[in-house]
Amino acid sequence: MPVSRQAVYDKLRSTELGICAALVRDSADQVAPLIRTLQATRAPLVPGYRTRVLDGNYLSATQRRLRVHRDSWAAPLPGKVLAIYDPQLDLVTDVFLTPDGHANERELIPQVVPHIGANDLWIADRNFCTLGFLSALHEADAGFVIRQHGALEGALRGERRALGRCETGQGYEQEVEFRHLDRTLRVRRVTVVLDQPTRDGDTEIHVLTNVPSDAADGCRVAALYLKRWLIENRFYELAMTLNCEPDTLAYPPAALFAFCLGLLASNAVALLKGAVRSAHGAEAVSELSSYYLTEEIRTTWVGMNIALPGPLWEPLGAMPLESFAELLRAIAARVDPKRYRKAKRGPKNPPPTKKPYQNGGHVSTHRLLQKRKR
């Protein structure tokens, strides 16, 4: 690159957040038609609805490389990302960014509202349960499955009906009314008395939905709420396999740009999985390891870029959609999915009880191993 290294760093730290978000949005816009042409979309979670999973992610703390960090032990947070995930296409379709690591996810909700479409089904955790957001979804003829926030109180209506056994506990359903801007919003409230408390100690959860009961009964609504972990899994794969949160990028725009590049790469991996799904079936894809796939790309790319320089790839950009999809399917048919199968670990045993902690203590691993052999 015919520029100085300092110029690259200066550009990274001043990258516009709109450009970062556009990278992710454009990648999804280009990949989605290919996945549909490959007939590799997943079955909808609720027939007739296009599911959207909404969640936020705090970027990991960076190194204290900036002068403003030098006099503090506090971990520097470079920003926060709010993402929309489409489980049918396995794509992150939109992101909303803030450089403020202490920002609340709710501050970004107004940016999400214009992206609501009719017949969407939005799944989100309780932090997104605001009257403004619920009303915006309802008025746009979109469905929602969102856990009720403790601060959002409504008036219960009708009798509480027992649903029987749900996936994580005993289910109940009752209608609830909310008032917002002189309007009444009446929705279903599904309560699950949990078999095991949550990590926050909650023994029951309440899930609000405006989806009709003939489209999803109460236990189905409770199961749909659990699908919010789909986007959590995507965030985990980003951090573990795509190195999208390098701790050396201390300036927030640079860190957010790197994370969005990771999201772009994950959408490309989703296209690869779509091609494999088209050629080998959904079961083969469920066993694929994202780590092995990305490692294959990482180790092969350098040599392939030498053997096949840039100009040789240009004709692919001009190929018709159907021809390109058929090429991807033909290449995927030659892939052996067993090479990239997930490694499954056995059951995790509880750790043994440790001795009381002593600051500065150390042991000789060699002596401990020798002692164990006796």
Q: What is the pLDDT of residues 105-129, one digit of tens each?
A: 999 999 999 999 999 999 999 999 9
pLDDT reading at 15 higher than 80: yes
Q: Check residue 351 and give its pLDDT.
A: 83
CA–CA distance from 336 to each of 210, 325, 332 (Å)?
Answer: 44, 19, 8
CA–CA distance from 250 to each of 81, 110, 143, 313, 354 (Å)?
Answer: 16, 27, 39, 35, 37
The string of pLDDT tens digits covering residues 206-227 is 999 999 999 999 999 999 999 9
Closest CA to 209 of 193, 197, 191: 191
Closest CA to 108 of 129, 82, 84, 89: 82
Helix, strand, coil shares, percent, the chain, to 5: 45, 20, 35
Q: Check residue 141 and give its pLDDT.
A: 96
Question: Using a CB cutoff of 8 Å and minimum separation of 24, what contacts does 292-297 make?
Answer: 292/339, 292/340, 292/341, 293/269, 293/340, 294/241, 294/242, 294/265, 294/269, 295/241, 296/340
Helix (H) or strand (E) holding 263: helix 252-280
The string of pLDDT tens digits covering residues 144-157 is 999 999 899 899 99
Mean confidence (pLDDT) of the chain = 91
Q: Write the CATH number of the domain with boundaries 5-241.
A: 3.90.350.10
Tokens 């092995």 belong to which residue?
292
pLDDT reading at 373 higher than 80: no
Q: Check residue 200 and give its pLDDT.
A: 87
This prediction has a pTM of 0.89
Closest CA to 187 of 158, 228, 150: 158
Residue 359: pLDDT band by 50, 70, 90 thresholds? low
Strand pairing report for 120-124 and 143-147? parallel
Q: Check residue 113 and give its pLDDT.
A: 96
Query: Could you tell me how far CA 68 lies from the centroid of its own chain?
Result: 31
If one counts every other C-beta atom within 10 angstroms of the C-beta of residue 259, the result is 29
pLDDT reading at 87 higher than 90: yes
Helices marked H in 281-313 — which ranges? 282-286, 290-307
Q: Check residue 1 and give its pLDDT.
A: 62
Q: Check residue 317 and give its pLDDT.
A: 86
CA–CA distance from 4 to each of 13, 66, 210, 254 (Å)?
Answer: 15, 20, 56, 17
DSSP reduced 3-state for 186: strand
The string of pLDDT tens digits covering residues 290-340 is 889 888 888 998 899 899 988 898 998 889 999 999 999 999 999 999 999
- Give residues with Cβ within 8 angstroms of 339, minimum separation 6: 292
CA–CA distance from 189 to each of 157, 166, 171 (Å)?
Answer: 10, 14, 11
Q: Check residue 213 and give its pLDDT.
A: 93
